[in-house]
Amino acid sequence: MVVINNLYIFDRHCECIFYTEWNRTNSPLAVEAEAGRGSKDLVRGNQVLTGDSSSSRSSLDGQRPLVWPTTSSSTTHRVSAESLRNVAMEEEAKLVYGVVYSTRNIINKLNSKDSSQGGNPGGFTSFATNTYRLHYYEAPTGVKFILNTDVGTTSMQPVLEMIYRNIYVEYVMKNPLFRIDPKVSTPIENDYFRAVLNNYIREISSAAMPTS
């Protein structure tokens, strides 16, 4: 069984337009928000968790996964604009993209395949640490997918390509309500996209995947 931790999607402007996680502790998505009766709840993505439900858990248990960015129009429980802006998550997304961007460019230069138009001519697909493996897929449209798994998992390129072609294109690109602005980044807030993606991740997480 492969352990899938989280997924980042970056647009051509290098902005994170979607993030979700399935197996993670100490998530930056946990934001303290004032709730009624003077208590504090945890706002995670589009969920408000109270009491014991705020403890670490796996979203593969059938509950909706944590997501980011969110807006007041996409959350079940309305929270303030200040709460919706998760500075820790913004910083993490910038850090992740910076690491991938630098690694990809180094590989491109070492392969003498640097491109002024960007892209991934060097064929960078993943790197591993002693605790996780990062998988990278860049679509022809410039959208970038970054998936983190357990360190034993090898290539996830077919999975990322499947997410792009059969889920992202079908439920985001072909969605008439999703406006693609060449100058402004637009977060993905399509509930169908989230649901289909979560179901797909649950399927491959329970199936046998190639490991090193």
Mean pLDDT of the chain: 76
pLDDT for 48: 39
Whether the predicted pLDDT of 72 surpasses 50:
no
Model confidence at 76, pLDDT cuts 50, 70, 90, reads very low
E strand or H helix at 161, and its extent? helix 157-162
Residue 19: pLDDT band with limits 50, 70, 90:
very high
Query: Do the beta carbons of residue 17 and residue 168 sit within 8 Å?
Result: no
Query: Is the Cα torsion angle 203, 129, 101, 23 positive or negative in sign?
Result: positive
From CA 158, how far away is CA 103, in angstroms rounded? 21
Contact between residue 123 and residue 107 where contact means Cβ atoms under 8 Å apart: yes
Is the whole-model pTM more than 0.85?
no
pLDDT at 82: 43
- How do residues 149-185 score in pLDDT, each as one tens digit? 999 998 899 999 999 999 999 999 998 887 776 777 8
DSSP letter assigned to residue 160 = H
